[in-house]
Homo-oligomer: A and B are copies of this chain.
Amino acid sequence: MTGFTASLAAFAAGPITTTLQTRVVTSLSVLDWISVGRAGVGEPVSRAVRDLILGETGAEQAQLFGGGAAPLRGAALVNGTVSHALDYDDTHFAHIGHPSVAVLPAALAASEWDDRILVDFLEAALVGMETSIRIGLWLGRDHYQAGFHQTATSGAFGAAVAAGRILGFDAVQMQKVLGLTATRAAGLKAQFGTMGKPYNAGMAASAGVEAALLVAGGFDPNADALEGTYGFGATHNGQADAVAALDGLGEDWLFESVSHKFHACCHGLHAALEAARDLDIAEPEVAEIKVKTHPRWMSVCNQMSPTTGLGAKFSYRTVIAMQALGYDTALPASYMEKVCADPRLKSLRDRVSVEADETLSETQAHLTLLRRDGARLEATHDLLAPMTLSEREDRVRGKAAKLIGNDAADAIWSMLRTGGRARDLSKMLAR
């Protein structure tokens, strides 16, 4: 071994030191994950995967989004899929993946089953998510560009570590579970735009749980299969820069810079929506709005005049107009045919123009508002710009309240901040 797996395993099995920032962001991700999961229960992919697992009528070891319970592997498959069904969960740009939807289903199922306190769950969740991000960095951009869905691949390792931590793994067992997961981790970007994308997240969560349970039961795999010869990195276009990926491990929490989504549309639109939010645009005053964005997004989310809700989620002009007209871009239900057909929206949309600007990064957007009174206002927003902890808390809790109601959002947040048992939190997955 070159030591990458050993370093991760020692980190994953050992004591950790966290900051207030890390702990709050972890809890916010849990709240966010439960909110988007509950909101995603009605999606067709959620029904298909729930039906599969409920049809197995297995032991009721862990609760499912949408109600019911299943064995750990099945619960992880369902909860990972359902919570990614709306593609509204958190994102980590450094490893190009969604950490919560792969890791939290595994951590929570194991914690519920083992009747752990929430502090244990949150710690396992954090260690698992940090591991998935570190492995994501180690695999690098080449891995993603080759066609692998990092949420699924790196996510499986994070899920395995999180479940293993709840199962009390030492560093040797952690190496084994990383090695076993190496033969099981999978997931292609080719599924983007289909039910296969959320399924990839469920697969990752379930693969991690399966590997952890097998290792706990005495399964003895090649513990070097992540980084060794013909290992996961070598076979899956990994860049294998262990020095960068391990930098500050255990001291700096890369997870802290996770981004929560505050608009239920393509992530490429978010910086522009945030810039528009900074300008506090209201429709009657708008003469013209000019959007500048990174060139890569022009082919992804610049539909000019979509007529469907799905189309609206990939249209700068539409979402900017929606926001200025008071449609709540945080609500999935706002993106509908009827809104696209609203004459006020069509009129405003025709006053919005979009152009590529190579000087902007992928997380930046620039907006120019020309008001009817002749004033010209400009704003630039970068999704990576630090957000104060209290602002982040306000916005995640506000989003959660919109998705699952104020009472449920408050109840979950209070539980996460004051402690309690994982089983109590699991009950909040059901409507």
Binding site for B on A (CB under 8 A): 44-45, 47-49, 51-52, 55-59, 61, 71, 73-74, 146-149, 152, 179-180, 182-196, 199-200, 203, 210, 213-214, 217-222, 224-225, 228-232, 234-236
CB–CB A196/B180 < 8 A? yes
- The minimal Cβ–Cβ distance linking A78 to chain B, given in whole angstroms, is 12
Q: What residues of chain B lie closer than 8 Å to A236, measured between beta carbons?
A: 235
Q: What residues of chain B lie closer than 8 Å to A222, measured between beta carbons?
A: 190-194, 196
CB–CB B183/A200 < 8 A? yes
**Residue A189 contacts which of B49, B180, B217, B230 (CB distance < 8 angstroms)?**
B230
CB–CB A199/B217 < 8 A? no
User: Complex formed: what's the CA distance from A320 to B385 in Å?
Assistant: 71
CB–CB A230/B58 < 8 A? no
Q: Which residue of B lies closest to A180 (CB)?
A: B196
Given contacts A231-B188, A235-B147, contact A195 B221 (CB under 8 A): yes
CB–CB B188/A148 < 8 A? no
Q: Count identical subunits in the complex.
A: 2
User: Complex formed: what's the CA distance from A231 to B193 in Å?
Assistant: 14
Q: Which residue of B lies closest to A229 (CB)?
A: B190
In this complex, the member of A73, A74, A219, A229 whose beta carbon has the largest number of chain B beta carbons within 10 angstroms is: A219
CB–CB A232/B188 < 8 A? yes
CB–CB B190/A228 < 8 A? yes
Given contacts A59-B56, A74-B56, contact A190 B182 (CB under 8 A): yes
Q: Which residue of B lies closest to A225 (CB)?
A: B190
Q: Which residue of B lies closest to A189 (CB)?
A: B230
Q: What residues of chain B lie closer than 8 Å to A57, measured between beta carbons?
A: 58-59, 71
CB–CB A219/B45 < 8 A? yes
Q: What would be 23 A-B contacts, judged by CB atoms less than 8 Å apart?
A: A45-B219, A51-B217, A56-B56, A56-B73, A57-B59, A146-B230, A147-B234, A147-B235, A148-B235, A152-B183, A183-B186, A183-B191, A183-B200, A184-B203, A188-B225, A190-B222, A190-B230, A190-B231, A191-B225, A194-B221, A196-B221, A196-B225, A199-B214
In this complex, the member of A146, A179, A217, A228 whose beta carbon has the largest number of chain B beta carbons within 10 angstroms is: A217
Q: Which residue of B lies closest to A72 (CB)?
A: B56
Q: Which residue of B lies closest to A223 (CB)?
A: B194
**Residue A196 contacts which of B44, B183, B188, B228 (CB distance < 8 angstroms)?**
B183
- The minimal Cβ–Cβ distance linking A191 to chain B, given in whole angstroms, is 5
In this complex, the member of A194, A200, A236 whose beta carbon has the largest number of chain B beta carbons within 10 angstroms is: A194
- Give 7 closest A-B pairs by Cβ, nearest first: A147-B230, A58-B58, A56-B71, A186-B186, A196-B221, A190-B225, A147-B235
Given contacts A217-B48, A221-B194, contact A199 B183 (CB under 8 A): yes
Q: What residues of chain B lie closer than 8 Å to A194, measured between beta carbons?
A: 220-222
Q: Which residue of B lies closest to A235 (CB)?
A: B147
A147-B230, A194-B222 given. 5 additional CB < 8 A pairs?
A52-B210, A56-B61, A146-B235, A188-B225, A194-B221
CB–CB B188/A235 < 8 A? yes
**Residue A59 contacts which of B55, B147, B203 (CB distance < 8 angstroms)?**
B55
User: Complex formed: what's the CA distance from A170 to B152 in Å?
Assistant: 29
Q: What residues of chain B lie closer than 8 Å to A191, measured between beta carbons?
A: 183, 221-222, 225
**Residue A188 contacts which of B182, B200, B203, B214 (CB distance < 8 angstroms)?**
B182
**Residue A221 contacts which of B51, B185, B199, B217 (CB distance < 8 angstroms)?**
B199
Q: What residues of chain B lie closer than 8 Å to A218, measured between beta carbons?
A: 44, 47-48
Q: Which residue of B lies closest to A51 (CB)?
A: B217
- The minimal Cβ–Cβ distance linking A17 to chain B, given in whole angstroms, is 34
User: Complex formed: what's the CA distance from A55 to B74 in Å?
Assistant: 12
Q: Which residue of B lies closest to A47 (CB)?
A: B218
Q: What residues of chain B lie closer than 8 Å to A230, measured between beta carbons?
A: 146-147, 188-190
CB–CB B71/A58 < 8 A? yes
CB–CB B184/A214 < 8 A? no
